[in-house]
A = this chain, B = another copy of it.
Amino acid sequence: MQRQIFTEEHDAFRETVRAFLAKEVLPYYEQWEQDGIVSRDAWLAAGRAGLLGLAVPEEYGGGGSTDFRYSAVLAEEFTRAGAPGLAIGLHNDIIGPYLTGLATDEQKRRWLPGFCSGETITAIAMTEPGAGSDLQAIRTTAEDKGDHWLLNGSKTFISNGILADLVIVVAKTTPDGGAKGLSLIVVERGAEGFERGRNLDKIGQKSQDTAELFFNDVRVPKENLLGELDGAFIHLMTNLAQERMGIAVAAIAAAEHLLEITTQYVKEREAFGRPLAKLQHIRFEIAEMATECAVTRAFLDRCIIDHSDGTLDAVHASMAKWWATELQKRTADRCLQLHGGYGYMSEYRVAKAFTDGRIQTIYGGTTEIMKEIIGRSLLA
Residues of B within 8 A of A277 (CB): 379
Number of residues on chain A facing chain B (CB within 8 A): 78
B203 touches A344 (CB 8 A): yes
Contacts A281-B280, A341-B157; is A375 near B286 (CB within 8 Å)?
yes
Taking CB atoms, residues of chain B closer than 8 Å to A136 are 272
Interface stretch, picked from A74-82, A83-91, A182-190, A351-359, is A351-359
Contact A283 B362 (CB under 8 A): no
How far, in whole Å, are A290 and B313 apart by their CA atoms in the complex?
A: 14
Which partner residue on chain B sits nearest A293 by CB separation?
B319
User: What is the chain B residue whose CB lies nearest that of A336?
Assistant: B358
Does A22 sit at the interface, judged by CB under 8 A?
no
CB nearest to A312 among chain B residues? B1
Cβ-closest chain B residue relative to A283:
B375
- Interface check A270, CB cutoff 8 A: yes
Query: How many angstroms from the CA of A301 to the CA of B200 in the assembled complex?
Result: 40
Cα distance A139–B137 in the bound complex, in angstroms: 42
Within 8 A of B (CB), among A180-224: 200-204
Cα distance A156–B156 in the bound complex, in angstroms: 40
With A316-B294, A319-B294, A337-B366 in contact, do A354 and B343 touch (Cβ < 8 Å)?
Answer: no
Is the CB–CB distance between A322 and B271 below 8 Å?
Answer: no
Q: Which chain A residues in 269-302 approach chain B with CB under 8 Å? A: 270-273, 277, 279-284, 286-288, 290-292, 294-296, 298-299, 301-302
10 cross-chain pairs, A with B, having the tightest CB-CB distances, nearest first: A283-B375, A280-B280, A287-B375, A287-B374, A298-B299, A287-B371, A277-B379, A134-B271, A295-B299, A201-B346
